[in-house]
């Protein structure tokens, strides 16, 4: 079982010719909504990778809740751990200009009410995989990491978004997944020794005994497991929309590890899935099915 503890949002996306200045109103050309939230995105990716997935989170008692959960329900993600909160469903307000630049405002809403008590429905067990991010209260992330270890479950912490006060959590996870910018910031916060990124990754692995995975966009992924450095390339694609690619990677990585695959083939499959996600628009709609990933890898 893969349990994802994290955020559930509805993305509200408006396209404009140019982004407005403070106090300015500009006309928009199109508007659409799409399910989002890092937790929900990762849960759907793990399910599309073939995993048995349970989601722990919260939505509001409003009209946005059903749409935010729609693709998770279609993907057969277990939603018994998703609670209705008095707060509104979390939203991301996204403006995208004609050059593809964007500004985003995230309102946590119900995600901010996901507290340690909500983990009672998680029922972590030995051999499970627990996947977490930083879009719910950090006390909940910390409790989930400790509970997973106590139960003999394997934990994966995606360190997004960067929160300097969360640096201490990295050493609590079995696998840490960060993009290159996030890792560099956390390396500074943790005072990791070394002159370059790979040296600092090795320092983290030696210091904590944990596995560190750093995604590099189109350049693939590097990881340090024990004393071993792994490099896995991304697929060569023409990106259309990179939103959700990192979440796709995390969900597929969780599914691979849940199946008992070693780290390197799990990374290869996750990197390929993340690459394919960049070829389509939207976060959740862009997540590929397992058969598509296997076809792209030639397996």
pLDDT at 202: 95
Q: What element of type H or E holds 34?
A: strand 28-36
* Overall size of the chain counted in residues: 299
Residue among 218, 132, 237, 142 nearest 175 (CA) = 132
Query: Tokens 């070829």 identify what position?
Result: 279
- So where are the chain's domains? 2-6+40-58+75-82+113-297
Correct CATH for 2-6+40-58+75-82+113-297 of 2.30.42.10, 3.20.20.70, 2.70.70.10, 3.40.1190.20: 3.40.1190.20
Task: Give CA–CA dist 271/37, Å, rounded.
Answer: 20
pLDDT one digit per residue (tens) for the chain, 299 residues: 999 999 999 999 888 889 898 999 999 999 989 999 999 999 999 999 999 999 999 999 999 999 999 999 999 999 999 999 999 999 999 888 887 677 888 899 999 999 999 998 888 999 999 999 999 999 999 999 999 999 999 999 999 999 999 999 999 999 999 999 999 999 999 999 888 999 999 999 999 999 999 999 889 999 999 889 999 999 998 887 777 889 999 999 999 999 999 999 999 999 999 999 988 887 898 899 999 999 999 86
3-state SS class at 182 = helix
3-state SS class at 69 = helix
Query: Tokens 């389509």 identify what position?
Result: 280
CB 97 within 8 A of CB 18: yes
Task: Give CA–CA dist 106/40, Å, rounded.
Answer: 15
The two structure tokens encoding residue 117: 């008590």
- In DSSP terms, 10 is beta-bridged to 35, 91
The two structure tokens encoding residue 253: 């990585």
Task: Give CA–CA dist 48/291, Å, rounded.
Answer: 9
Classify residue 205 by its DSSP letter.
H
Phi (first) and psi of residue 256, to 5 degrees = -65, -45
Q: Is the pTM of this model over 0.85?
A: yes
Active-site residues: which are they? 247
pLDDT at 281: 80
CB 166 within 8 A of CB 204: no
Task: Give CA–CA dist 229/235, Å, rounded.
Answer: 20
> How open is the CA angle 83-156-292, to the nearest 5 degrees?
90
3-state SS class at 175 = strand
């Amino acid at each position: 079982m893969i349990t994802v503890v994290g955020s559930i949002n509805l993305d509200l996306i408006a396209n404009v010719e140019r982004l407005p200045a403070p106090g300015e109103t500009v006309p928009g050309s199109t508007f659409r909504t799409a399910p989002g939230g890092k937790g929900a995105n990762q849960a759907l990716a793990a399910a599309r990778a073939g995993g048995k997935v349970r989601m722990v989170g919260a939505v509001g008692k409003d009209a946005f809740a059903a749409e935010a959960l729609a693709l998770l329900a279609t993907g057969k993600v277990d939603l018994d751990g998703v609670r209705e909160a008095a707060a509104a469903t979390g939203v991301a307000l996204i403006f995208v200009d004609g050059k593809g630049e964007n500004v985003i405002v995230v309102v946590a809403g119900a995600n901010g009410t996901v507290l340690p008590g909500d983990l009672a429905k998680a029922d972590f067990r030995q051999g499970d995989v627990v996947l977490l991010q930083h879009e719910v209260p950090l006390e909940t992330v910390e409790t989930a990491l400790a509970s997973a270890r106590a139960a003999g479950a394997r934990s994966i912490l995606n360190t997004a978004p960067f929160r300097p006060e969360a640096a201490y959590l990295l050493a609590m996870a079995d696998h840490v997944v960060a993009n290159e910018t996030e890792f560099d910031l956390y390396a500074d916060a943790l005072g990791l020794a070394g002159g370059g990124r790979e040296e600092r990754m090795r320092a983290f692995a030696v210091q904590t005994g944990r596995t560190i995975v750093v995604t590099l966009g189109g350049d693939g992924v590097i990881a340090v497991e024990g004393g071993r450095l792994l490099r896995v390339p991304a697929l060569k694609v023409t990106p259309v929309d990179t939103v959700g690619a990192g979440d796709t990677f995390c969900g597929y990585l969780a599914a691979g590890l849940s199946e008992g695959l070693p780290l390197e083939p799990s990374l290869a499959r996750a990197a390929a899935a993340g690459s394919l996600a960049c070829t389509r628009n939207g976060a959740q709609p862009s997540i590929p099915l397992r058969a598509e990933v296997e076809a792209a890898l030639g397996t």
